[in-house]
């Protein structure tokens, strides 16, 4: 991959890489494990900063960038289901100015006059905080149901949806032969509190929030468990089949869903002009605390379905809709204790234990304090009264300390430990970093156990039955000390079967699960190694660049020499910054890591990686549009090509694959003919888009005339 380090400051590259990696991790936790790590506000801020960098430095963004992705890869617990029409994501706005920008972008794309914009109808719908679902009806009968997944492929949860009996098994005519109904599965706040009380009474884990409860309840392998959970649904869109229904507006679409028997949110409202959006935001914000379900914003959609179709999508985000996000909810509570936790990389993370408090319908009792600097910035101590934000409906975030009356005696300031609380090794804070780390390495039990937990986690080897508690037990018994021991654990079969709570059947099931995972993709393998600074996103970049395990390993062993061509190649990979490169060098410099790799090579098969960018229909092709288009704007034309993986250029060169001709094409047509480049007129380009027949792009046919 070509380096752009001469064009972009390495620090910018590193910042971009770090943001992509962090967002990728957050996506996995949120979409795959129903266990969000950060607040909506923190996530949105990071994603907006990533987009800002991509806009300022376009070369940073690749076709498979995080900003082009939806959700996260599937877990594998359920069969996969490919959506007939992708379930895509929404762009966000946070204030009136950004909403005005959204309207202005639509105006420019459609070439609307100010008068036309002033009468542009919108539909405003409360943005539910739940789990997206796709319901498939064939000849009016419910046949399948799937989660959104990564937007293209979801998890088949048909049995669970049918067990819930919250959607019609059959819809009345008229309807298309194939119909996809999109909606949001959610849990009411009142039902959530009742469920958590039941869980606590039975000694089971309680849910962090309504979304977590809804997602966890729907993703049960036993449909009878799902059926017993109080889940609800609001329908809001149609995927496949919409074009065969006689409706012209979003308002009519919602009414059609109601007529078929689907619940829709009655707070949804048609707005006659964009200016009415501000009033609707104010009204719904005031109602929000009193609703019996969680919402985190408002979705605004152009009402006219024809305009929606023309606007299409910018990457994975529709140009005809946006989500106005609400700020997080807050509460006040007291810090009972500040505790240090040790992660697999040795990071010492302070966590505040709180007096349990209800924040927006969620009972929370812990909050991360991030690092030493954050504790000092907030000036929080044990016993302090603090303002807590619902931090994305996850472990909350402490916003500030609440000043109390004079005479209140505060505890002494928290002293960050200089030794690891687990192994008592020296802790250090490297210059320029905000995190203290234990120097004990794999001699530290917390780090060694953390590395093993990471190795078998869902996005790594994904071994069922080998959870955190089992790993800690096997580690203490000396059965499982390093990653390669996982695939030799069967040597301890008799000892494990004799342990309390195991037995022959459980042991056999565990080893069956381990043996099923002896084949893994390169990107998952690299991620599984738990190399510091190498998350899922970086692992994918490395896998797609080197393509095979043998190539990657050989290159890394040579990259240990800083002046080697392999070291320079590593740093040239877009998205791999100096800190990532240094972490890889340090990993491959350790003999014990090389021993683990050698043992793993003998126990498993690591599959080659195929770059995702090579799979798009027009990947590797460069297209130029010239002249005036009659059936679409120039922006629409470029968008269709980019969506299929093509690079769109404004200049005709010898590397150009295709030139699409509008009226008065001019010099670009002349140059293309001289170079023997394939030409299509607008009608032929539209035919290609409809058929996706690549033979239409073959260069043998060069007699195309300008329309």
Q: Would you please indicate which residues are annotated as catalytic (active-site) residues?
A: 127
DSSP state for residue 221 in the 8-state scheme: S
Among 117, 101, 173, residue whose Cα is nearest residue 141: 173
Query: How far apart, in whole angstroms, are the C-alpha atoms of residue 362 and residue 396?
Result: 10
Q: 612 near 526, Cβ under 8 Å?
A: no
Q: 623 near 646, Cβ under 8 Å?
A: yes
Residues 6+ apart with CB under 8 A from 254: 123, 236, 264, 268
The four Cα atoms 223, 229, 235, 239 give a dihedral, to 10 degrees, of: -30
**Cα of 676 vs its chain's centroid, Å:** 43
- Rounded alpha-carbon distances, angstroms, from residue 521 to 142, 201, 293, 570: 35, 43, 40, 20
Residues 6+ apart with CB under 8 A from 407: none
> Positive or negative, the Cα torsion across 673, 676, 682, 683?
positive
Query: How far apart, in whole angstroms, are the C-alpha atoms of residue 271 and residue 230?
Result: 33
Query: How far apart, in whole angstroms, are the C-alpha atoms of residue 663 and residue 665?
Result: 6
Query: How far apart, in whole angstroms, are the C-alpha atoms of residue 561 and residue 553?
Result: 14
Q: Which H helix or E strand runs over 325?
A: strand 321-325
* Bridge partners of residue 519, in order along the sequence: 605
β-strand 91-93 against 321-325: which pairing, if any?
Answer: parallel
**Size of the chain, expressed as the number of residues it contains:** 707
Query: How far apart, in whole angstroms, are the C-alpha atoms of residue 585 and residue 562?
Result: 9
Query: How far apart, in whole angstroms, are the C-alpha atoms of residue 563 and residue 585?
Result: 12
Looking at 501-647, list the stretches that DSSP marks H as alpha helix, in order from N- to C-terminal side. Answer: 503-515, 522-528, 536-546, 549-559, 565-572, 578-588, 591-603, 634-643
Query: How far apart, in whole angstroms, are the C-alpha atoms of residue 535 and residue 575?
Result: 12
Q: 181 near 259, Cβ under 8 Å?
A: no
DSSP state for residue 422 in the 8-state scheme: T
SS3 567: helix
Among 264, 298, 257, 254, residue whose Cα is nearest residue 129: 298
Q: 303 near 249, Cβ under 8 Å?
A: yes
Q: Which burial class, exposed, middle or buried, applies to 381 when counting CB atoms under 10 A from its CB (0-12, 13-18, 19+)?
A: middle
Query: How far apart, in whole angstroms, are the C-alpha atoms of residue 22 and residue 659?
Result: 39
Q: CB 96: neighbour CB atoms within 10 A?
A: 12
Residues 6+ apart with CB under 8 A from 131: 147, 148, 184, 185, 186, 211, 214, 215, 218
């Amino acid at each position: 991959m070509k380096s752009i380090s001469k064009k972009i400051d390495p620090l910018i590259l590193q910042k971009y890489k770090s943001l992509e990696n962090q967002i990728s991790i957050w996506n996995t936790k949120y979409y795959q494990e129903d266990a969000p790590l950060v607040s909506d506000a923190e996530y949105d801020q990071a994603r907006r900063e990533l987009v800002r960098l991509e806009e300022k430095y376009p070369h940073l963004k690749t076709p498979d960038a995080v900003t082009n992705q939806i959700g996260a890869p599937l877990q594998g617990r359920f069969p996969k289901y490919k959506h007939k029409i992708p379930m895509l994501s929404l762009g966000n706005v946070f204030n009136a100015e950004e909403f005005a920008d959204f309207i202005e972008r639509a105006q420019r794309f459609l070439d609307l006059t100010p008068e036309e914009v002033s009468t542009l109808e919108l539909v405003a719908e409360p943005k539910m905080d739940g789990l997206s679902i796709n319901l498939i009806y064939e000849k009016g009968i419910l046949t399948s149901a799937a989660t959104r997944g990564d937007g293209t492929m979801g998890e088949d949860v048909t049995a669970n949806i049918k067990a819930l009996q919250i959607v019609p098994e059959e819809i009345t005519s008229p309807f298309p032969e194939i119909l996809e109904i999109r909606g949001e599965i959610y849990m009411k706040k009142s039902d959530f509190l009742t469920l958590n009380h039941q869980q606590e009474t039975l000694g089971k884990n309680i849910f962090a929030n309504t979304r977590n409860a809804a997602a966890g309840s729907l993703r049960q392998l036993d449909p009878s468990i799902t059926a017993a959970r109080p889940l609800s649904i609001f329908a809001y869109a149609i995927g496949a089949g919409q074009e065969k229904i006689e409706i012209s507006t979003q308002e009519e679409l919602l009414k059609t869903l109601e007529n078929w028997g689907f619940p829709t949110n009655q707070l949804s409202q048609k707005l006659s002009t964009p200016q009415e959006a501000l009033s609707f935001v104010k009204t719904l914000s005031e109602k929000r605390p009193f609703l019996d379900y969680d919402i985190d914003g408002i979705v605004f959609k152009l009402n006219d379905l024809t305009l929606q179709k023309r606007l299409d999508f910018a990457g994975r985000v529709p140009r005809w809709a946006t989500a106005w996000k609400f700020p997080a909810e807050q509460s006040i509570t007291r810090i009972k204790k500040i505790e240090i936790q040790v992660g697999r990389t040795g990071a010492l993370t302070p966590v505040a234990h709180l007096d349990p408090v209800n924040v927006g319908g969620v009972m929370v009792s812990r909050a991360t304090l991030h690092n030493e600097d954050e504790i000092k910035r907030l000036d929080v101590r044990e016993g302090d009264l603090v303002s807590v934000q619902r931090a994305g409906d996850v472990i909350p975030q402490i916003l500030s300390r609440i000043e109390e009356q004079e005479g209140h005696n505060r505890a002494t300031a928290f002293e960050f430990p200089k030794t690891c609380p687990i192994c008592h090794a020296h802790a250090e804070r490297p210059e320029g970093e905000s995190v203290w780390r234990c120097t004990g390495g794999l001699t530290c039990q917390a780090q060694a156990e953390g590395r093993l937990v990471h190795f078998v986690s869902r996005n790594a080897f994904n071994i069922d039955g080998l959870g955190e508690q089992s790993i800690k037990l096997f580690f203490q018994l000396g059965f499982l000390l390093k990653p390669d021991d996982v695939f030799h654990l069967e040597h301890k079969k008799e000892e494990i079967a004799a342990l309390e709570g195991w037995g022959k059947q459980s042991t056999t099931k565990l080893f069956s699960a381990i043996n099923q995972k002896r084949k893994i993709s390169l990107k998952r393998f690299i991620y599984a190694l738990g190399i510091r600074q190498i998350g899922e996103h970086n692992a994918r970049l490395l896998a797609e660049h080197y393509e095979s395990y043998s190539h990657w390993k050989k290159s890394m062993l040579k990259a240990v020499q800083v002046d080697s061509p392999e070291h320079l190649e590593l740093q040239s990979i877009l998205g791999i910054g100096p800190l990532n490169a240094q972490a890889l060098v340090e990993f491959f410099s350790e003999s014990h890591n090389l021993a683990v790799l050698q043992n793993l090579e003998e126990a498993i098969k690591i599959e080659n990686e195929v770059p995702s960018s090579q799979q798009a229909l027009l990947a590797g092709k460069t297209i130029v549009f010239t002249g005036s288009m009659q059936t679409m704007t120039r922006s629409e034309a470029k968008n269709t090509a980019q969506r299929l993986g093509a690079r769109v250029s404004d200049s005709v060169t010898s590397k150009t694959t295709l030139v699409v001709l509008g009226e008065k094409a001019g010099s670009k047509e002349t140059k293309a003919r001289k170079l023997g480049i394939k030409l299509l007129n607008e009608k032929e380009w539209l035919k290609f888009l409809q058929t996706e027949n690549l033979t239409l792009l073959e260069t043998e046919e060069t007699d195309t005339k300008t329309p």
